[in-house]
Structure formats: C-alpha cells, structure tokens
C-alpha cells in the first residue's frame, strides 16, 4: 500500500528509486545555487566529470589552450550553441558541438545497436544521469525535481500528494502561474523552449500530465497516462497498482530509465514533422512509417491518435496496415478494426485527402504505388532487396508538382543502405547527418552577395500569401505582375555580377533550397523570416534556370582540317532486294522478339559495350532484357494503365514499374542461381559416389 503522505516524502521516494534502481547521482541545490547553475540550467560538476571520463585528451587540450578560464569559456560556448537560432538542447545532445574546427565534443552517447564494439558500449554506460530536489530557477520560484543528463537539465517535475489534499491540477497551476502561484517565466533558462528542459511533468500519486512548451497561463498540458479499465470499460487515467497504491509507478520504472530517456532523445522530430510534410505537393503530401512489428504498428497507431487528439489537430489522420490479429493486454486488434473499414480499402482510402500517414508492418513495402508519398520513417532493420524495394516506394513522380522526398531512418546506418543499394547502382551517394543550424550559414552567405532586398522579400511574401494559398499561378494577372517585378529586380542584380559569381550565387541558392526542404521534414523549424526567404528563392531559381543561347561565335576561317587519313572499313555490293509483302504484326502475348527487333537490341548492346568499355554478352543481355519485359507484361496495373491512358500518360506508369521489375528480375536470377548451384553440387556428389 502507498505510504507516501507528503510532497517531501514523494520527492525523496522518487530520488531514492532513481538512485538505487536507475543509477542516478543525487545532487544538491540551494537558493544560492549549490550544484545548480541557474544562468545556464546545468550542473557544471557533472558536465566536467562526464567530459573528463569520456574525452580526456580533448578536455586536456582545451585546458592547455584556455588555462584557468577553460570551464567558464566552455560553459558559455555550450550555452550559446544551445540557445542560438536554429539550435536546441536536443540537437546539441544528439550531435555534440565543434569547439574548434578540429575539436568536437560529444554531450551524449547513444546505445550501440550491438555489443560488438566494447568501446562504444563503455561510452554509452558513461552517460551520467543525476537528480536535484527543490531547484530555484530564480529567487521567486522553486521546482520539486530536476533531472540532468551529463550535467544538462532535461526534465522538470512538480509533485503533488493526493493524501495532503492536492493533485496534478495544482501542479499544472504552478507551471502556469495561475491562482496564487508565482509564474514560471517561459524565458527563464530552465524553462526556455528548446533550450531548457524538453519536458515538464505535473504528477500526483494517480495521474501524470506533461508539456514541452511553457507559455504562462495558456500552457497546454496533455495526459501522460496509460488508461484505466479494460475493453469497452477502458477510460482515462491509470489503473492503481494494488501493491503500491499508486497509478504512476511506470513513470520512474519505465520512462525515467537511462535506456528509455536516451532512446527518446535520439528519436525526438518525427511527430513534429506533420506540418512540414503536409505542405508538400500543394498540401496533399503523405508519409509512411515502417514499424518493426505488428505490435509496434498497433502501439504507434494508438500513440498517434492520442497525440493528435490531445493537440486538437483536425487536419491529419493516420491509417495502419498489418496482417492478421494482434493481441495486446488481452485485447485483439485488426487492421480493419483500427481503421474502420476492410483491408481491401486501405490503399484506396489512403489515396484520399482524408489521410496523411500510413503505419505499416510488413505490408505495402513492395508493389505499392502511391505517387503522393513524400516522407518515410524507418523504425526497423532493412536488408538487401527489401531495403531497396521499401525505399523505392518514394520513387514515384507526381505531376505537375516538383516532388521532394526524404527518408528518416532511426535504425539502419548509412553503410547498411550503401550495401543494400550497391548491387543495383554503380554509384551510391549518401550524405552525412544534417546540422539544422547550417541553414542560417547558407542564408547569411546569400545575404553577403547583396542581390536580395529584404523589403522585396517581405512584400513578395505578403502579396503571395494574402489569399491564403501561396500559389503564384492562382493569383490574378495584376498581382502576378507585381510579384514578377520583385523577382525581376533580384534577377537583374544577379545578372550584373561576373559569370563566376553568378554561378556561385545560383549554387548557394540551390543548396539553401534543398537543405531547407529537408529540414522542414526532419525538424520543427518555425522561422517565419527564413521561410519567406525560402519561398522567394524558390521562385527566383525558376528565373535563373532559364538558359539562353547567347551571341554565338563566328568560326569562319578559324578552323583548319589537317592530318586526316582515309581508310576503307567495308565494301557493300548492290544485292538485289527480295519482296516480303507478308508482315507478322507483334501481339501483346508474344513470348519472343521478332528477329529484326532482336538484332536491333543486339546492336544497342554492342554500342553500350563500345562506349563504356564493357564486354556484356549479347545473348545473355538480350535474354535479361526479355525477362524484364515479361515481368512488366504480367503486371495487371500496367495493363489497366495502358487501356485507360494515352501513350504519354502511360509512360509515367511504365517508368514507375520499371525500377521494381529490374529489382525483381535481379533477385529472381540470384535465387535461381543459388538453387542451381546447390543442385549441381548435390549431383556432383552423387556421381562421385
């Protein structure tokens, strides 16, 4: 039974549990400070203990350079990196910081996928978690508990004891500063959005609520409960643990463990990408989440529904796709039951504007053609052809839009994808991890050319978005002319530059556009001024992409042909022509090419060999091409597309299916060869004996 009678006892109980069960260090705060540095929301002692244990040589190099001011210099630098525009506490924890161009410091180590590398495992185990009670963010307010990771404050908690007549609602009032409570200043370093604690919990003995953004009296708190009851009687809140008399034991037993917190920090974006993905394709873009199992698919669907409901979102909905029946907590779930319609309608309903996200478990990863799919979140291990086929779901054009796609992979490494794609491409290009703050460096570089007028950008955006849709083509002629005038001025300034500078400007703008589009999909970027510049640059690049032939060159009298050698390569006699009035028309069911077409295909292969310096066997290559043709001929989707589209429109569907056919053909050949080699080996053994 519960023996916690006061708020102070509650604090000490959680601290004791975290210390003895979860490996936390107990640290001490006072109104004057103690171990807590209120200027930077950190515990300097734990920070430098972590750095000295994990990056001894780097810290020694910094001490050699800065001497007695090393600690103050590094703390100020970390604070500026966390609070600067475009950055965040989460970003610094995940990516570390570059103190100098040659010295990088890690602020957190993620759990390695395997224990094959003892050094990585050791570094992960050296992450330091600590907790302080009664932390004073300022002279007026006090927080019950603050949790730290490697010296950086990550979680704050206000605790209430029901037996003393207070509950979580009183804790929420404290965070909001309503009633008689002193307001938690959202600008205080501990509460500063993105730079301070990334989550704030209001907890009593029965329920838990949370927020990620303190905004004073208007702060929105969402339930962080597991639900109570079962079946049709299931409701809000939590079931009380009969052994402890509490309903929130899961908070310190499951959530506040080292493994869970680091995993949460590592995967913290993807639900926040809702708005960014939706802005693609004129607001019709869709995303797919590749889950690791059917159980995961069910849990993610439940979590997603709870998330959008608690945030009162009305413009985003999710579907789930998995086979059979999944049993969780004595309840059974099916795809049809969770979606509200039969499995056969899932793809059709996802194609409508009513749904934006599809959570899948071993379904729709191959053969699924959804041209509006722009983003994919991978939460499972992908290998070989499965990786290629899964990611190829994004490889669908969507006229008339200029489609941009992104893959966010939480499980596989870049090397995994390189190895998976290597058999199908001669070159695989994969970029490294993206630093969101770099977008501001690109923005500043563009400003340095002095070709964009900030006033023009503001007026352009104001006029473009006045109608609420942001599409220049949908404006009337007079407004389009005004917008064109702003673009023309910028284009004129660019054309006045030297040719080399013009190329640099264009290249920088393209890099800015591509990187910004990527960041919209992977981070909660919400800089209005930066978005205005992106929109302006996006339209401006349409002008810069226009190519002119130029004045040309007069080569008369400037070129002389010399050193030519005439050589006879072949001789052809005038053979008599034989009439062949009967011509056999090809049919769709033909299982072979005509002799003329096969000869033509052979000539093409010989030409490829000549140009690339290859020696592909003509007969084998022709047969491979015929195999791909046969795979395409068996596609019912292609047959329907051919019947209902023009040749021009059919070309889109044909090109979409061609990649899948090439991959399928290659995989069939591999599997067939393996079977044949094994069969030949067995036959050889039989003959030998």
DSSP letters for 271-306: GGGHHHHHTGGGGT-EEEEE-SSHHHHHHHHHHHHH
635 phi/psi in degrees, rounded to 5: -75, 115
3-state secondary structure of 96: coil
CB atoms within 10 A of CB 480: 15
DSSP 448: T
Strand 325-328 and strand 331-334: the pairing is: antiparallel
- DSSP bridge pairs for 209: 202, 223
Q: Which segments of the chain belong to CATH 3.40.50.300?
A: 269-424
3-state secondary structure of 65: helix
Highest mean pLDDT among 57-66, 533-542, 576-585, 628-637: 57-66
For residues 460 and 473, give the distance between their C-alpha atoms in angstroms, rounded to a whole number. Answer: 14
Strand 33-34 and strand 97-100: the pairing is: unpaired
Q: Give the pLDDT band (50/70/90) at residue 24.
A: very high
Query: By mean pLDDT, which of 87-91, 132-136, 642-646 is the weakest?
Result: 642-646
Q: Which residue has the tokens 């409901």?
A: 309
Q: What is the pLDDT of residues 560-574, one digit of tens each?
A: 544 444 444 444 444
3-state secondary structure of 541: helix
For residues 662 and 525, give the distance between their C-alpha atoms in angstroms, rounded to a whole number. Answer: 38
CATH assignment of 269-424, given 3.30.413.10, 3.40.190.10, 3.40.50.300, 1.10.10.10? Answer: 3.40.50.300
Q: What CA–CA distances, in Å, run from 39 to 32, 190, 247?
A: 12, 9, 36
The string of DSSP codes covering 512-536 is HHHHHHHHHHHS----HHHHHHHHH
CA proximity to 360, closest of 335, 383, 326, 336: 335
* Torsion angle (degrees, nearest 10) of CA 208, 210, 216, 217: -50
For residues 77 and 97, give the distance between their C-alpha atoms in angstroms, rounded to a whole number. Answer: 9
Q: What is the pLDDT of residues 488-523, one digit of tens each?
A: 899 988 988 888 888 889 989 988 888 887 777 656
* Torsion angle (degrees, nearest 10) of CA 80, 83, 85, 88: 120
CB atoms within 10 A of CB 266: 14
Peptide bond into 400 cis (omega under 30): yes
Six-digit token pair at 161? 């004891």
CB atoms within 10 A of CB 242: 7
Highest mean pLDDT among 301-310, 344-353, 557-566: 344-353
Its sign, for the CA torsion 451, 456, 460, 462, is positive
Mean pLDDT for the chain overall: 80
Q: What CA–CA distances, in Å, run from 388 to 97, 324, 457, 598?
A: 33, 25, 41, 31
522 phi/psi in degrees, rounded to 5: -120, -5
Q: What is the pLDDT of residues 276-300, one digit of tens each?
A: 455 677 778 889 999 888 988 998 8
Identify whether the C-beta of residue 49 lies closer than 8 Å to the C-beta of residue 154: no
Query: By mean pLDDT, which of 45-59, 133-147, 638-652 is the weakest?
Result: 638-652
- pLDDT at residue 159 above 90? yes
For residues 263 and 124, give the distance between their C-alpha atoms in angstroms, rounded to a whole number. Answer: 12
- The pLDDT of residue 278: 56
Q: Is the pTM of this model over 0.85?
A: no
498 by Cβ neighbours in 10 Å (0-12 / 13-18 / 19+) ranks as exposed
The string of DSSP codes covering 448-465 is TTT-S-HHHHHHHHHHHT
């Amino acid at each position: 039974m519960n023996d916690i009678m006061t708020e102070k006892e509650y604090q000490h109980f959680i601290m004791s549990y975290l210390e003895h069960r979860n490996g936390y260090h107990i640290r001490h705060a006072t109104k004057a400070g103690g171990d807590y540095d209120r200027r930077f929301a950190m515990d300097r002692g734990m920070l430098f203990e972590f750095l000295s244990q994990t990056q001894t040589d780097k810290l020694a190099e910094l001490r050699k350079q800065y001497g007695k001011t090393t600690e103050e210099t590094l703390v100020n630098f970390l604070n500026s990196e966390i609070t600067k525009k475009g950055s965040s506490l989460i970003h610094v924890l995940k990516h570390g910081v570059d103190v100098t161009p040659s010295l990088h410091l890690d602020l957190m180590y993620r759990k390695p996928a395997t224990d094959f590398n003892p050094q990585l495992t050791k570094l992960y185990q050296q992450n330091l978690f600590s907790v302080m009670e009664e932390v004073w963010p300022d002279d007026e307010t006090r927080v019950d508990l603050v949790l730290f990771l490697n010296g950086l404050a990550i979680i704050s908690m206000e605790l209430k004891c029901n037996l003393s007549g207070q509950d979580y609602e009183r804790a929420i009032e404290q965070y909001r500063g309503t009633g008689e409570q002193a307001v938690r200043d959202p600008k205080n370093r501990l509460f500063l959005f993105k730079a301070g604690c990334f989550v704030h919990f209001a907890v009593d003995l029965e329920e838990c609520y949370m927020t990620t953004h303190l905004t004073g009296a208007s702060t929105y708190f969402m339930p962080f409960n597991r639900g109570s009851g079962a079946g049709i009687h299931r409701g809000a809140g939590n079931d009380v643990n009969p052994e402890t008399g509490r309903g929130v034991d899961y908070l310190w037993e499951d959530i506040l463990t080292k493994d869970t917190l680091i995993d949460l920090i590592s995967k913290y974006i993807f639900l926040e990408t809702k708005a960014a993905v939706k802005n693609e394709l004129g607001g019709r873009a869709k995303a797919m989440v590749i889950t690791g199992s059917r159980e995961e698919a069910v849990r993610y669907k439940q979590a997603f529904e709870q998330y959008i409901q608690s945030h009162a979102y009305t413009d985003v909905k999710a579907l789930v796709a998995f086979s059979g029946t999944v049993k969780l907590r004595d309840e059974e779930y099916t795809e049809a039951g969770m979606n509200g319609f039969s499995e056969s309608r899932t793809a059709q309903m996802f194609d409508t504007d009513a749904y934006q996200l599809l959570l899948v478990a071993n379904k729709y990863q191959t053969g699924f053609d959804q041209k509006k799919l722009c983003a994919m979140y991978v939460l499972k291990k992908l290998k070989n052809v499965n990786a290629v086929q899964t990611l190829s779901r994004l490889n669908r054009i969507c006229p008339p839009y200029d489609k941009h796609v992104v893959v966010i992979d939480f499980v596989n490494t870049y090397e995994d994808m390189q190895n998976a794609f290597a058999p199908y491409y001669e070159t695989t290009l994969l970029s490294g991890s993206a630093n969101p703050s770099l977008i501001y460096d690109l923005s500043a570089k563009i400003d340095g050319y002095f070709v964009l007028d900030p006033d023009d950008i503001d007026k352009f955006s104001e006029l473009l978005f006045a109608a609420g849709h942001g599409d220049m083509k949908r404006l009337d002629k007079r407004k389009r002319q005004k917008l064109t005038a702003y673009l023309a001025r910028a284009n004129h300034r660019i054309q006045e530059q030297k040719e080399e500078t013009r190329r640099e400007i264009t290249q920088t703008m393209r890099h800015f556009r591509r990187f910004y589009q990527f960041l919209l999909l992977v981070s909660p970027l919400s800089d209005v001024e930066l978005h205005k510049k992106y929109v302006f640059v996006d339209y401006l690049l349409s002008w810069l992409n226009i190519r002119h032939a130029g004045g040309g060159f007069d080569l008369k009298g400037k070129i002389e042909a010399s050193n030519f050698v005439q050589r006879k390569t072949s001789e052809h006699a005038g053979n008599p022509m034989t009439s062949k009035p009967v011509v056999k028309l090809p049919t769709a069911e033909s299982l072979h090419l005509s002799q003329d077409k096969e000869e033509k295909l052979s000539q093409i292969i010989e030409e490829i060999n000549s140009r690339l310096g290859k020696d592909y066997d003509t007969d084998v290559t022709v047969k491979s091409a015929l195999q791909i043709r046969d795979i395409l001929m068996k596609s019912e989707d292609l047959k329907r597309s051919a019947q209902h589209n023009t040749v021009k429109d059919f070309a889109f569907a044909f090109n979409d299916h061609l990649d899948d056919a090439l991959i399928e053909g290659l995989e069939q050949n591999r599997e067939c060869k393996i079977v044949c080699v094994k069969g030949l080996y067995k036959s050889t053994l039989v003959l030998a004996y």
